[in-house]
């Protein structure tokens, strides 16, 4: 991959999703980490970036930005917010998921994702604890969430999603199918081609967006 192509990729597609949403995960504050977690759950569905951003902004508008508030809003209220944000295809399922996940987060960790991270013994245990919050939290959602917490949480080092690997293979950065091996090659590539003012997170996010575009082209 030529340097100018990498620069174009990261500059045009690499804006962090948390930054796009105005969420400051670097602050390490519980409230900001939770906002990104909520957004990650929304991003976990096969839905457009535009719809997810719009839906998150509806949660923000209604002040539903804590696990306690999500539970208090109830199923009907959550469906209404999801529908307002054009998340209609997944509204019922997502409302169920949010109530289960946030209820467990409140019960097990007092609503604190920082506490969840603190209790995790290592990277694998962190991912296991996140998935155990509810059946709707799978590998893709965990990867989306933890990707932007690299450098914020010491145990956050998720494997790339299938879309990231698809993009990396298309660009000739890796030939690996294994997420573990692909992650190693992606980190090696970035270490050799790092761009000033950009991070590995920007690079991985750019690959994710490129992978989504590739998937759409295949489906047409």
pLDDT of residue 83: 96
Query: pTM of the prediction?
Result: 0.94
Parts of the chain with a pLDDT under 50: none
Cα torsion for 29, 36, 200, 132, to the nearest 10°? 100
pLDDT of residue 220: 61
Q: How far apart are CA 216 and CA 176, in angstroms?
A: 22
pLDDT of residue 165: 96
**How crowded is residue 38: how many other Cβ atoms within 10 Å of its Cβ?**
25
Q: How big is the chain by its Cα radius of gyration, in Å?
A: 17
pLDDT of residue 81: 97
Query: What domains appear along the chain, each with residue ranges and CATH number?
Result: 3-15+160-219 (no CATH), 17-147 (1.10.340.30)
pLDDT of residue 219: 67
Q: How far apart are CA 1 and CA 17, in angstroms?
A: 24
Give tens-digit pLDDT for 17-65: 999 999 999 999 999 999 999 999 999 988 889 999 999 999 999 999 9
Give tens-digit pLDDT for 136-149: 899 999 999 999 99
pLDDT of residue 215: 85
pLDDT of residue 171: 96
**Secondary structure (DSSP) of 124-171:** HHHHHHHHTT-TT--HHHHHHHHHTTBTTBTT--PPPPHHHHHHHHHT
């Amino acid at each position: 991959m030529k340097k100018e192509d990498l620069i174009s990729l990261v500059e045009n597609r690499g804006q962090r999703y948390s930054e796009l949403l105005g969420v400051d995960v670097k602050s390490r504050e519980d409230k900001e980490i939770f906002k990104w977690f909520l957004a990650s759950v929304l991003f976990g569905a096969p839905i457009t970036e535009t719809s997810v951003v719009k839906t998150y902004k509806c949660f923000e508008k209604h002040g539903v930005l804590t696990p306690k508030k999500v539970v208090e809003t109830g199923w009907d209220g959550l469906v209404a917010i999801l529908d307002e944000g054009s998340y209609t295809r997944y509204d019922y399922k997502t409302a169920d998921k949010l109530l289960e996940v946030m209820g467990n987060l409140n019960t097990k960790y007092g609503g604190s994702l920082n506490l969840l991270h603190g209790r995790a013994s290592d990277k694998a245990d962190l991912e296991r604890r996140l998935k155990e919050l509810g059946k709707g939290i799978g590998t893709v959602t965990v990867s989306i969430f933890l990707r932007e917490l690299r450098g914020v949480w010491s145990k956050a080092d998720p494997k790339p999603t299938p879309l990231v690997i698809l993009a990396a293979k298309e660009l000739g950065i890796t030939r690996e199918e294994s997420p573990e091996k692909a992650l190693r090659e992606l980190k090696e590539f970035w270490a050799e081609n790092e761009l000033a003012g950009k991070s590995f997170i920007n690079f991985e996010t750019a690959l994710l967006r490129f992978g989504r575009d590739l998937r759409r082209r295949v489906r047409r």
